[in-house]
Chain A
Amino acid sequence: MSAIGAKPAAGAEVNTTASIIGLILTLIIIGALYVITKDISMTMALIGVIIGGVLVGFCVHFMPVGGAPAAMGQAPGIATGVAMLAAGAGLAGLFGGAWAAELGMMVAIVAGAVGGGLMMAITCLMVSVIYVFGMGIPAASGKSKIDPLTGDTQVEFKSQGTEGHGLPFISYVGGVIGGLLGGAGGTLVYIELLYLYEKELPALLQAPMPEDVKIVAVSLAGIFAVGIFLVSSVLAAYNITGTTEGPADPKFKRFPRDIVASLLASAICGIFAILIVAL
């Protein structure tokens, strides 16, 4: 994304002790919320927010993003920043999910997922169109010899001096799956908070007409959803050190440690987002 020539510092190994501490801290935070509020629905909302945050972190691992080299056809993937591409897709999904919020949680989450997936499908298609019809470059993966979905060989389509280019089919599918997961995750965070705020805010603000406060609930849930989305997606971007080819990339195998990190990060952000109306 930026011109800084960053050298990935993180390796692939899992820090077991830290992961266990992370899981325990997550459980402590969930327990703490229950002890403070004595309210099972709020605790369930926090768990929903955490699941949403984890989905967001997981979705980033599917995004085929090549960063700066992709803009020169030197590396496969989409030429942009991974956290922000995930945010673009996930927030477009959140837009659809928020629109369907009144039709129930299930419809809203699936609508959010489809919104994110559609955004990524169109974006990835246009990336392929530009590579093939604008630059005359066929797609080639740099890290896998054969596309695991189509069985296409990749190596001979790699032009000289590059690590591959374009979007092989597996990366395209990865992008769509990433959009689906990101849209669902962002919407889940939003919906959980929205329902909670719609219930609690009128009393807190002593509003005469509960219906009037809805806009405040929407706004508050929206900004919290954006905040948790950015936190979770940036952590995931750190996990894959900024670039990935999607599900076929060896970096994809790093996802377990990001799931733990997302669990803890969404838990700590989520507890404050919920306590704002609880205390």
Chain B
Amino acid sequence: MDEIKQSKVPSGNIAEKWTSYKDTQRLINPANKRKLDIIVVGTGLAGASAAATLGEQGYNVKVFCIQDSPRRAHSIAAQGGINAAKNYQNDGDSIRRLFEDTVKGGDYRAREANVYRLAEISNNIIDQCVAQGVPFARDYAGMLANRSFGGAQVSRTFYAKGQTGQQLLLGAYGALSKEIHNGTVKLFTRREMLNLVLVDGRARGIIVRNLETGDIERYSAHAVVLATGGYGNVFFLSTNAMASNGSAAWRCYKKGAFFANPCFTQIHPTCIPVHGDYQSKLTLMSESLRNDGRIWVPKNMSDVEKIRKGELRPADIPEADRDYYLERRYPSFGNLVPRDVASRAAKERCDAGFGVNASGLAVYLDFSEAIERLGENVVKARYGNLFDMYQEIANENPYETPMMIYPAVHYTMGGLWVDYELQTTIPGLFALGEANFSDHGANRLGASALMQGLADGYFILPYTLQNYLSDLIREPAVSIEETCFAEAEKQVRDEIARLHAVGGNETVDSFHRRLGKIMWEKVGMSREKEGLQQAISQIASLRDEFWHQVKVPALTIGCNAELEKALRVADFLELGELIARDALQREESCGGHFRVEHQTADGEALRDDEHFRFVSAYEYKGAIAPEMYKEALDFEFVELKQRNYK
């Protein structure tokens, strides 16, 4: 196992690193920027903000999205808010504190310098979004309002009702639309990236499938920016959108980009429970609900049984017979513990038999106390759209009876390995937002994904990409007629032909569901050695079965949803195995990665800083097992502690 040493973190005090980077990075004059082409894949917060800003700076940008419009990227679904260290509430917040909370929330598995930069930039993001006309919530004095989120003891989360992601994305989409209008950005919709093109070891183009015509298309550039989100859908059921997938990143991995910390996946504690085999996705209920909602299960098994039979309503159970288990176990953070802690605690209660729905996999999120304290109108103003959404799905009125919730896969902290410049191990290939691994360690705090996506796109990449491109100003555009493009296209065509040729009798969704079941049961909220070993061999045999039994209708031209899904699931069947391998080697519990063998006497995650204080980064080796490299995590500016939310 080798070590990665080139993370390119600038030297000096943590508070000065980013400033000194910006002061010394190389610049490109406007006349030369016009000669440089950049491909941005993905139009979520990271992709849209990057494409817009690069366009403003004068580069020729080509931006690609899988949906019919860039406005539909899955950032749109983020509900609760975005963190920033403004300290507008005068409650003791600072850049330093946001930095420390994020490092601690990530269970000390993130790169310190990246996290500090994120906290530093957080304030610029709020200013930028306000200037774009993002309608953040305000108080009666006209100033920006804040709320609290898990893992923090200050109110630093800015929000726009329960639709913060939507509003921030529409702000970035507006900026992107402005640049499309100005002619600096060209938009390609309904395109899915299926291969990366390398010229002399540098990323110089992509191969995409046009989802409307079925054509395989080639695009060239001086650099490729990946902002394609996470791989949570490897679990089949997740809060991700249906089209969210890991393929673009995975295909870059297979071209030589290292994949880091794949086993760091986040299970969100407050989602609507699973209710049937036909179910296609899970719906998140924002973490902001934990500001006022109290989580509980009955104390007595007899009450649980009556509830399941419908003989007792939750409201009938007296206060004394309720177990507010988060408040009991973590008195100082209570219902606002980080996501990994809240998820495991729900699982612990349900595993002990106290789950409150028919399947035994649900706990209550109760607003009766908040409604009594604040009045129904205030609760409605804060969470109205979330309550409506719950009522539509669950067919129950959460103003009258507690919500039922259960953890679900939500976010992936792992992703392509990037250095301080957000560059992968392939020169000229950059990864932003959820697609990279860098800022959230082993667990992401609520309201930090939006912050990271926009930090990367608006304020980091435009600097670091310039530093890279300054070497390439004399480099002409590469023709898409070059052999390397033809070869990359052929790989894609061959794979599609192979899928069509299988001619089996099982649908893609059926394989995806089976993969999801293995992942959820053995590589989900709690993991142990034996289960992980079983998962690795089960995924391998499922993959084999897929390539012998899958049925993909062979429409050679035009839209083919089954082919779209088959290509993604084929990649998930490989990625799932890498997640399990990574989880197996990481013999410690940290953040979202919980190994049953490594826990304290009272069931808390037990980290092993001596042996596992590193980022694992994998290099693709074809048919043989991938090679793992380690990036040691040195904490110069925060003290490593066992996380304690008690």
A-B complex is real: no
